Structure 1
Amino acid sequence: MELAVKGNTGSSFRMHPQKFALWLFIVSVVMLFAALTSAYVVKQSSGVWLDFELPFMFDITTGIVILSSVFMHMAYLSGKRNEIKKLRIFLFLTVLTGLGFLTGQLIAWQELVAEGVFFVGNPAGSFVYVLSGVHGFHLVTGVIFLLIVAFSAFKYKVHSKSMVQMEMCATYWHFLGGLWLYLYLFLTLNH
């Protein structure tokens, strides 16, 4: 079942309804983070801003998220080529690096606490916790989606003739990776 929208020229735009829903969700997440980063800039200009170093672990988790995206792309390509064993391996590595990213974010929060930066207190610290925490929540949902796709792959339901679930998972995972890169650069440049 596909969503078809006819344009003025008579041509139609077709998209799977679940993919369409995913894109609507992604747009809403983009709007959420646009609002949060805008609020960050406005609050920072108020003058009451704690100066502290961002956790070094953010650098490491940025590398992990890039590696994770590479693994996801390799899983996607393996699925398209019907290389089911490789698909499973790369999905497993994507889940593993996703969990590594989340663990790294928790360690980064511990670094912040050790530096005397807490969730409650100065808004500078609060924003770092909120931005990384809300992203982390979405990454948890991404890991759950990955596990669902991996389960499907083990039941031979993901292959070159059945890629919708894999395509949606890859889109969402790459989006989350890109979102973290944006947040990392934003925090680094605006800190």
Structure 2
Amino acid sequence: MEQTLDQEYKQAKRKSAKPMLWVSMISMTMMFAGLTSAYVVSRKRSDWVSFDLPSSFYMSTLLIIISSITFILAKHFIKKDNRQIVTALLVSTLLLGIGFIYFQFDGFGQLFNEGLFFAGEKSTVKSSFIYGITLAHLVHIFAGIIVVSVVLINHLNKKYSSKDTLGLELGAIFWHFVDILWIYLFFFFYFIR
């Protein structure tokens, strides 16, 4: 009886995992839609100063795109039970994510060196938005790094196989979400000056 209840609980948990993830991602999307809407409205201000994105943001964008590709490949190879390749791909995803964070902070340094600050007398409306929105995205990237780390640990503990990929799939969905979110933000900042 207890074993049947435990199995039913696990099955219910598995069924609700993806919908719960989608609900949380929709709420995050709404938050960033609000932030970018405020950016669009604010650029009509008389004190709006336009400037180019830091070159490091281009590199971070490339790294996050490659990291999504490595995660897609990890999903592909777990379905073939090729554990060694999955390990290498998950480690690559994690390292690329850390590289993304490095280049984001390097981009902040470039803005700072150009005299563009987050707050204070020397800040501009645009620089405050760039810092603020990018930092909000970085919080989600840090969460993604934790997710990828947990997926990697679970994989090393042999929790995933061709018959059980749910945790890896959930991690991939979230990682691709933060990837797509950054690509949107990058092109948004690039084209809406």
- TM-score, structure 1 as length reference: 0.91
After superposition, the C-alpha distances for 1:138-182 in whole angstroms (9 at most, x for unaligned) are 001001001001001111101111111011011111111111110
* Cross-structure match for 1:25: 24
Equivalent position of 2:6 in the other structure: none
1:50-78 deviation per Cα after TM superposition (whole angstroms, max 9, x unaligned): 22221011111111111111111111111
Q: Deviations over 1:18-60 (max 9, x none)?
A: 1111101100110000000000001111222122221011111
Decide which moves more: 88-97 or 158-167: 158-167
Aligned length: 180
1:154 corresponds in structure 2 to 156
For 2:17 and 2:46, locate their aligned partners in 1 and report how far apart those are by CA, in whole Å: 45
Task: Report matched runs for 1:125-136 at 5 Å.
Answer: 125-136=127-138
Superposition RMSD on alpha carbons, in Å?
1.2
Query: 1:6-155 alignment to 2 at 5 Å?
Result: 16-120=15-119, 121-155=123-157
Could you report, residue by residue, the CA deviation over 1:84-139 in whole angstroms, capped at 9, with x for unpaired residues? 11111100000000000000000000000001000013211000001111111100
Question: Separation in 1 of the partners of 2:15 and 2:115?
Answer: 48
Question: In structure 1, what is the Cα distance between the partners aligned to 2:36 and 2:80?
Answer: 40
Q: Distance in 2 between matches of 1:157 and 1:100?
A: 27
Task: Tell me which protein shows more helix as a share of its residues.
Answer: 2
Unmatched 5+ stretches in structure 2: 1-10
Runs of 4+ in 1 over 3 A off after TM superposition: none
Secondary structure of 2:95 counterpart: helix
Q: Give the secondary-structure state (helix, strand or coil) at the position aligned to 1:159.
A: coil
Residue of structure 2 equivalent to 1:177? 179
**How far, CA to CA, are the matches of 1:159 and 1:57 in structure 2?**
37
Partner of 2:168: 166
Greater strand percent: which structure?
1
Please report the TM-score for the alignment, with normalisation by the length of structure 2.
0.90
Tell me how far apart the structure 2 counterparts of residues 84 and 139 of structure 1 sit (CA, whole Å): 25
**Runs of at least 5 residues in structure 1 that lack an aligned partner in the other structure:** 4-14
Question: What one-letter code is carried by the residue in structure 2 that aligns with 1:169?
Answer: G
Q: 2:113 & 2:148 partners in 1: Cα distance?
A: 33
